[in-house]
Chains A and B, each alone.
Chain A
């Protein structure tokens, strides 16, 4: 079903039987990673991210079964995931112990896993709105305009949030990258 549009897949979901099975599988293949990555970076909990992914798709399937037309499936899925994440996130206080932050930066060399840790910690240092917009753009794969629609703010605000967030993150993580780059340069010479 890879050749079909999202709308055709949604129609197939309503038909039931084997079509429903394949359509679900294809939609999951297209968007599950985005939803999961979004939830992971917003909530910083793999178990909660899995729950969000499950609940998002279950709610989506419920919506589709009611003959609701969904114009932009990825944005719609992320809107559901966002609402679920906000509900989940409001129940807990996310904090980054400063000791952890420094310990990450003092360890070298960094590998992919540590890169993920640094990014997560840097994300959590951002203001909530900036972090959410950035995560939607980077991990959710939405455009600025789609993010504006999901978050209910003007696109200029989204642009501002994302630009500010990326610049803050760039400043936070750049010392680490410079260290890596110096090692790389030596290797090539």
Chain B
């Protein structure tokens, strides 16, 4: 299956958003190896991501809103809690300085935008000569590099440092306890207070006394974690460095969506989220080869299948079904039996033109299927439209042509059938 430049563009954004599947990542990596144009496109897509990060930093709600909302809701918020909104950014920056002093200093001294743009362009425009290695930032001092590598060096681990809120900071190794906790309160006292506030004494403290890093757990709540999250560093190596390991490192934690938590990572469509199952009703419209006198009901047919989304537009599937297709089959006793239906199992490929922005989310689709049946091999081609019913359910209506080679009077002819199909698909 050929992949168009348009598809590569899709893959670039899916990859940067952390929504690409493993096959999609590999496809993208292979394409990037040989295409300077695609590398350029990747680079500018990263620049856009950095610009969003800068924008997020600039867009913070006024600090007075919290107390205002609390007042309207009849909640009395202590002065310290109301003021906690303002120190978030300050604490985040100061902690960033502690954890990654050179990078944060760069941001503050050169301006966030300049640093971000320079670093991202630097690393990605020369992607073939860069290798990313996973190291513990807190334990290692980067080796000296050539001056032109300065901007590149910061990119992978620097990107998230443009984030400001605790949740935005969480995916990287700089989300500080100071964001979430009031600094003057000892951890032991705080933990006990939490226990009394919510669950009495039955809940053990979830915040280790010496936990400087907050990350998100499955239920979307931050939990304490030791500061050993690996962040990739960059070193200049020879041009023969394989691009795949480098990109694999880029596509790790630091390259996911700006706010994405671990929970969201689990919800990415890399697993069962790519699968769908459908049930299809097949209404016979026309039979060729003189088989128009069908006595079976037109809705006697049904097909089922499971599909796997290769990307936003392409899916492969395994399907089976039974449908009206009257013909004579040799019975092994020198005669023929009259069959009204065939039963088939096969594989399919479906292309959905989801990029077409039609009303109601309608988009055209086409499918080709090759199958084996009790009457021999068959082929199907269908085309029509699909539309969403709910987020997980879609409905499609297609015209379908079925072809079956028939041995007749010493020669092979093609038996044909035109049908209208209606299918409901559940997306997992």
Chains A and B come from one and the same complex: yes
> Which A residues have a C-beta under 8 Å from some C-beta of B?
1-9, 11-12, 15, 18-26, 28-37, 40-41, 49-50, 53-54, 57-58, 61, 72-74, 110-113, 115-116, 118-119, 127, 129-130, 137-146, 148-149, 151-157, 159-164, 166-167, 169-170, 173-174, 177-178, 180-181, 183-185, 187-189
Partner of A159, one of B19, B41, B113: B19
Complex Cα spacing A18 to B14, Å: 43
Q: B269–A153 contact, CB under 8 A?
A: no
Known: A54-B65, A184-B118. 9 other contacts (CB 8 A): A25-B70, A41-B59, A115-B51, A119-B51, A144-B269, A148-B391, A154-B392, A163-B10, A183-B114
A contact residues around B150 at 8 Å (CB): 188
A32–B65 contact, CB under 8 A?
yes
B24 to nearest A CB, angstroms? 11
Whether a CB of chain A sits under 8 angstroms from the CB of B390 is yes
Taking a contact as CB atoms under 8 Å apart, the answer to whether B388 and A3 are in contact is no
Instruction: Indicate if the CB atoms of B221 and A28 lie closer than 8 Å.
Output: no
Q: Is the CB of B165 within 8 A of A6?
A: no
Q: Which of A2, A57, A115, A154 contacts B54 (CB 8 A)?
A: A115
Distance (whole angstroms) from the CB of B15 to the closest CB of chain A: 11
Q: Which residue of A lies closest to B59 (CB)?
A: A37
Residues of A within 8 A of B181 (CB): 2
Interchain CB contact under 8 A, A30 and B391: no
In the bound complex, do residue A163 and residue B9 qualify as a contact, i.e. CB atoms below 8 Å apart? yes
What are 7 A-to-B residue pairs whose CB atoms are below 8 Å? A12-B198, A29-B84, A33-B59, A57-B73, A73-B220, A161-B357, A169-B48
Residue B52 interfacial (CB < 8 Å):
yes
Residues on B lying within 8 angstroms of A by beta carbon are 9-10, 13-14, 17, 19, 41, 44-45, 47-48, 51-52, 54-62, 65-66, 68-70, 72-73, 75-78, 81, 84-85, 88, 111-114, 117-118, 121-122, 147-148, 150-151, 164-168, 177, 179-181, 191, 194, 197-199, 205-207, 214, 217, 219-224, 257-261, 264, 267-269, 273, 309, 312, 352, 354-355, 357, 361, 363, 388, 390-392, 394, 427
Of the candidates A8, A141, A156, the one whose C-beta lies within 8 Å of that of B198 is A8
A159: nearest residue on chain B (CB-CB)?
B312
Residue of chain B at shortest CB distance from A138: B52
Q: In the assembled complex, which residues on chain A have CB atoms less than 8 Å from the CB atom of B355?
A: 160, 164
Known interface pairs A160-B354, A184-B118, A184-B151; A6-B220 also in contact (CB < 8 Å): yes
Query: In the complex, are the beta carbons of B58 and A36 less than 8 A apart?
Result: no
Q: How far is the CB of A13 from chain B (nearest CB, A)?
A: 9
B113 touches A58 (CB 8 A): no
B51 and A173: CB pair below 8 A?
A: yes
Residues B66 and A25 in contact, CB atoms below 8 Å apart: yes
Once A170-B48, A189-B148 are accepted as A-B contacts, the answer to whether A40 and B167 lie under 8 Å apart by CB is no
A149 to B391, CA, bound (A): 6
- Give bound CA distance, A152 to B392, whole Å: 9
B198–A53 CB distance below 8 A: no
* Contact in complex: A32, B48 (CB < 8 Å): no
- Contact between B264 and A28 (Cβ–Cβ < 8 Å)? no
> A111 touching B113 by the CB < 8 A rule?
yes
CA separation between A22 and B207, bound complex, in Å?
A: 16
